[in-house]
Amino acid sequence: MNRLAEFVYTVATAGHRRKTPLIIFGLVFWYGGVALMVSIAPLVDKWCGFSLQMASALRFATGAVLTAAGTPLVVWSIFQCFRARGTPVPFKPPPGLITTGIYGFVRNPMHLGWTLFLYGISVFMQSLTLLVIFLPLFILAHILYIKLVEEKELEKKYGQAYADYKKHVPMLIPEIKRN
């Protein structure tokens, strides 16, 4: 296990006194990063002369579908974490592995929801920078975090239960199973 995964595991599983400041840091880092990305994209678009040209009806429909698909995934994922007496922040996760509800179809529904939501926002904003530069980097950073830190920490914490869950539930894109 790498050092960051070990650190997350140590803080998440202990009554660590630095837990509250780390939770606040995690929230500020996450939401601040998203806000910064969305705020800077139009400036970069303007500076580079980029624009996502779509007919307004198509832009509205596409943006609405993407944000409407992403929002409930994010909200429900957060609700599930709180319901299980944890937070979505890795330093104070739910005490047990959540495998029911939306987590029975995809291991990272919050990331999927944020991705859909932010793609919808990029279409609404007509931001080519957000659509083809910032969001792919956002997705790549999250996948790397999930693979290099989160999964290692969950494997150590839950052992075979997580390995079995990982084997049967896809990471980001739900499978449609036919009977």
7-59 pLDDT tens trace: 777 766 676 666 777 777 777 888 888 899 999 999 999 999 988 888 889 99
What's the CA angle centered on 36, arms 33 and 37, to 5 degrees? 85
What pLDDT was estimated at residue 69? Answer: 96
In the predicted model, residues of the chain with pLDDT beneath 70 are 1, 11-13, 15-18, 177-179
Residue type (1 letter), 81: C
Q: Which two tokens stand for residue 146?
A: 């999930």
The pTM score is 0.85
Closest to 116 in 3D by CA, of 138, 101, 133, 98: 138
Cα separation, 122 vs 133, whole angstroms: 11
What pLDDT was estimated at residue 52? Answer: 81
> Please, what are the domains in the chain?
3-168 (1.20.120.1630)
What pLDDT was estimated at residue 102? Answer: 86
